[in-house]
Each structure stands twice: as C-alpha cells, then as structure tokens.
Chains A and B, each alone.
Chain A
Amino acid sequence: MTPQISELWVYLSASPLLGLTLTLLAYQGAWWLHQKSGFSPLANPVLIAVSVLVTLLLLTGTSYQTYFDGAQFVHFLLGPATVALAVPLYTQFRRVRAMLIPVIGGLVIGSITAAVSAVLVARLFGASLATQLSLAPKSVTTPIAMGVAERIGGIPSLTAVLVITTGILGAVGGRYVFNALRIHDPAIRGFATGVTAHGIGTARAFQESEQVGAFAALAMGMNGLMTALLLPLLLPWLL
C-alpha cells in the first residue's frame, strides 16, 4: 500500500464507522440476493451477510474486537427489540387464547426438547462440557441465550454463534419438515418455527404469512422466558 492509503486504512480501521457501515452494507447486499432468489430460505440473509463479513475480516486481518467496536451499535438494538416483542405478543393475545392448550403444550415440550436433544446429541458425539452448556440455550433469541449461557457456565459468544446457526437451520428446514409431516395449520407452523428458531425463524415465518409470523413471534417471546426460567432448573438432571 502507498503511505497515503495505509494511513487512511489505519484511521478507518480504528474508527467504529467502518465496522458499522460494513455490517449494514453486507446486510443490504444479502437482502438484495435474498430478494433476487425469490425469498428462497436457502439464501438466508443472515448467513450471507455473516459469510461476507467473516471473509472480509480474514482477508484484511482485522480482529473481531475492532469490527465489533463499530458493529456493537447494531448489536445493542437486540435489547430494545426484545422489549418490543411485547407489542406483537399483546396484539396476538386474543388469537392465542383460542389455541391456549396446544400453545402451552407446544411451548413446554418444545422448550425441553430443544435443550435436552442438543445437549444429549452433543455429548453422544463427544463434545466438551463447555460446548454442551453453550448449546443448551441454542433455540432462544440471542440476548436471552447469551444471558442464560453465562448463568449456566457456557461461553456466551459461542452460544450467540450457535443460536444464529440454529435460526438459519430452522428457517431453512421448517418448510420441509412441516410438509413431510403434513402440518398445514399456520398457527402450528409458526409456533413450532418460533420455538425452534427464534428471531431468524420468525423473520422467515413473516414471509410465509402474517399469521404464521405472529405465532412465531409469540413462540420466540414465550420460549425465551420459558428457557430462561426452566434451563437452570433442568440442567442438574441433564449433566
């Protein structure tokens, strides 16, 4: 690099502007591709944006810490977004009352299945204890999952990655699983997606229909709460 360009690089790589702008650009590009693919679940915008950013950071030798100094402004919004979930939760509450028993059954069984199956399969395949604990809250939305991981002795930042991978897998696979099982009820499709694949599944569910999305949002909120309460109690039995 010529001195001028390298000076510019030194300045930019030390300021939060670059990480923030790159995050938004990568997401815009990923969204454009997602749209071009006809909203194919395989072209998941989170997966594409993360792949682009990881490649860029590796190629330029930029540390995650430097990147995150800028990207934290986006990351911070997860907190208020979690609080904001109360709004769809409230507006959908009447529809939920008609489905109260299936919703509660699906929530309790789904929440336990998500944590227990993740830990048991990981142990069966020889994962370390820290990895098993980081996997346990993988089906709940990132801010809750990271908080739970910290409480139970997992690695919060690893949990974040596992949560996002789970969300992408659930968003991609949901349609195929439900069709194979001949599950057509939009309330059930949405709720099961939200329990399994939190916000990324919910983003996907809103593309299927408003009702599917509403039930997914509801499931994400309820499962976040359920897992945060249940997992610390369940864990002694599991380990």
Chain B
Amino acid sequence: MIAALTQLLVFQLIGEVIARGLNLPVPGPVIGMLLLFLALALRGGPAPELQSTSQGLLQHLSLLFVPAGTGIIVHMHRVADEWVPLLASLLISTVVTLAVTALIMRLLARRTPAEGQS
C-alpha cells in the first residue's frame, strides 16, 4: 500500500510541477492522472498493489468530499442572498445535463453499427 501511495503522490507531484512550470490551465493532479494512464498503457496494466490501493481510495471517494462540503458554512451569506439563482441553476443544469448527455449518446449509439450488442 505504501509503495502504491508513493507512486500516486509522485505522479501528482510531477503533474503539479508540469502544470505550474508550463503555466497550464489544467490542475496538477489531472496531469498526474494522464501520465499514470500513459505509464499503465506502456507497462500493460497496473501492478496488483496499485490496483488495490486505487480501489480502496476510490471506494471511499464520497468521504473525501465531506470537508469541502462543510465549507458551505463560510458562504452562508452569499447562499442566503443568492439562493434563488443558485438553486435554479443547480437544479435545472443538473437535470438538463443528465438528459442531454444521455440522449446524444443514445442517438450516436444507434447510428454506430452495434458491436457486441444484441
């Protein structure tokens, strides 16, 4: 687990250095993710240790959002002042994005010759 965690942190660090060094608009961990993806493609897959550590981290992904979510406490004033546009925007945009993404995918899936589908 420690080796895999170290590996993830090293990729994050490299990503961070590249993002800051080249002044890219993409956050460091995303560059790290891309680099790890490339490394896995070159290597032909993750080592079992990396596989299980990643699985463990991603299984409890919900937990990792809790500290940032609690930050709503700092923005109580803004939320109280602007709750109508915020609520409208989040509700409408979420439903519209779910629907539009699913519908466009269904449309494109029908136009592509079905592979491995009945």
Report A's interface with B, CB cutoff 8 A: 23-24, 26-27, 45-46, 49-50, 53-54, 57-58, 64, 67-68, 71-72, 74-75, 77-91, 98-99, 101-103, 105-106, 109-110, 113-114, 117-119, 121-128, 131, 135, 138-139, 142-144, 146-148, 151, 155, 157-158, 160-167, 169-170, 173-174, 177-178, 181, 183, 185, 187-189, 191-193, 195-197, 199-200, 202-203, 217, 221, 224-225, 228-229, 232
Residues of B in contact with A, size category: 35 or more
Which 8 pairs between the two chains have the least Cβ-Cβ distance?
Answer: A147-B27, A110-B101, A125-B85, A71-B67, A127-B85, A86-B36, A82-B29, A160-B68
Q: How far is the CA of A162 from the CA of B72 in the complex (A)?
A: 9
Asked if A106 contacts B104 (CB within 8 A), the reply is yes
Asked if A169 contacts B90 (CB within 8 A), the reply is yes
| Complex interface bits, B64-93 against A, C-beta within 8 A gives 1, otherwise 0 | 111111111111001100101110111111
Q: How far is the CA of A162 from the CA of B82 in the complex (A)?
A: 13
Asked if B58 contacts A106 (CB within 8 A), the reply is no
Q: Which residues of B contact A147 (CB under 8 A)?
A: 26-28
Q: Which residues of A contact B103 (CB under 8 A)?
A: 181, 183
Q: Which residues of A contact B74 (CB under 8 A)?
A: 64, 157
Q: Which secondary structure dominates where chain A touches chain B? A: helix
| Interchain residue pairs with CB less than 8 A apart (24) | A79-B12, A79-B28, A81-B58, A82-B30, A83-B29, A84-B58, A102-B106, A106-B104, A117-B92, A118-B90, A139-B93, A143-B27, A144-B30, A157-B75, A160-B69, A161-B72, A161-B75, A166-B93, A183-B103, A187-B105, A199-B61, A200-B61, A225-B26, A229-B25
Q: Which secondary structure dominates where chain B touches chain A? A: helix
